[in-house]
Amino acid sequence: MERVAGFGFALAAEVVDKFVATLRGKGKGTKPSPSHRDQTRSRLLRSVEASGSIVGITEHTVCPDNLGDATRRDWIATAKRFTAWAKRRRHIEFDPLEEVDIPAVTNAEFERMAFTVEQARAIIDAAPVRPVQDWRTKRPRASAEVLKQ
């Protein structure tokens, strides 16, 4: 196949589709889910379109800046696997993401904390009425003990 470095989006989309067809599932010999394939294809096509070509892909064209650390890591890892695959298959001459490191995911900014009284009250108030609560409001003199007998 011709190299796609300077070619248009349609040829790059064909290369993306070939890559997506080679994806494997997590288990040995399994296939990924259709939603995973669609998500991978969508991410890669968005990156190629933003950069203009496969070799134009950079860390900044791979994913939007407003993504969380874990999502950003996934997007960059997917793009790195794709560009490395394209280089091995000789669709491109060099891997534009070879020097890019996959960012580490840190959750240092999110500490686990107990709910405040106001937060707990808001959660309880937002919960739907359960059948037992509804039953008691309709029959205030009834008791659960009477029902068990």
Burial label, 91 (beta-carbon count in 10 A; 0-12, 13-18, 19+): buried
- Tell me what pLDDT residue 46 has: 86
Q: How confident is the model at residue 1 (pLDDT cuts 50, 70, 90)?
A: very low
Whether the per-residue pLDDT at 7 is higher than 60: the answer is no
Buried-exposed string 36-53: b where 16+ CB fall within 10 A, e elsewhere: eeeebbebbbebbeebeb
132-145 pLDDT, tens digit each: 666 667 777 766 55
Percent of the chain with pLDDT over 70: 75
Q: How confident is the model at residue 117 (pLDDT cuts 50, 70, 90)?
A: very high
Q: Which residue has the tokens 């491109």?
A: 92
Q: What is the mean pLDDT of residues 28-33?
A: 77
Q: What is the mean pLDDT of residues 34-44?
A: 88
Single pTM value for the model:
0.63
- Residues near 13 by Cβ (< 8 Å), separated by ≥ 6? 45, 48
